[in-house]
Amino acid sequence: MKSALTKSAKAKANGYIAITSMLVVTAVVISVGVLATFSSIGNAQMALGGAQANGARSLAESCMEDVLLKINKTSTVPSSVSTPQGICTVTTDAQAGSNYTVSVTATKDGRTKKITTSVSRITNVSVTSWLEQN
């Protein structure tokens, strides 16, 4: 009888070990799945943020190009520029004769970009510096 009890106790112990092993393996698999999901969500958020920043930069560049065209044609700086992408605010930081320093601020999808450009206009506009901020 002793050997029968021993076999039964060993079978129970082996059953507990099997169940415990399955629980550990399941926990590890779930943890890996959750980590992979969070990593994917983080990557998607970074990609969306980059796309939004590029949209704001594109708007600011478009507005600055319109400002440069206006300076070239009429030697004036508008206070704002409207493009199909959106509206930008234009600030004249400095003007001395035919030299201008102009800033354009664009906001799109919650992202703001600012471009400051120094130009000289004698016969045509010549860009002397172009600085993107934010």
Tokens representing residue 117 in the block: 């450009």
Total residues found in the chain within this entry:
134
Q: Specify the pTM.
A: 0.68
Token pair 């070239």 is found at: 72
Give the angle subtended at the CA of 19 by the CAs of 17 and 23, to the nearest 5°. Answer: 115
Identify the pLDDT of residue 1.
46
The mean pLDDT values, 10 residues at a time, for the chain of 134 residues are: 59 77 92 90 84 87 94 91 92 91 92 93 90 84
pLDDT (0 to 100) of residue 9: 65
In this prediction, residue 123 carries a pLDDT of: 85
Q: Which of 75, 93, 31, 19 is nearest to 67 (CA)?
A: 75
Domains present along the chain, CATH in parentheses = 2-133 (3.30.1300)
In sign, the C-alpha dihedral spanning 119, 120, 125, 127 is: negative
Residue 97: its pLDDT value, please? 87
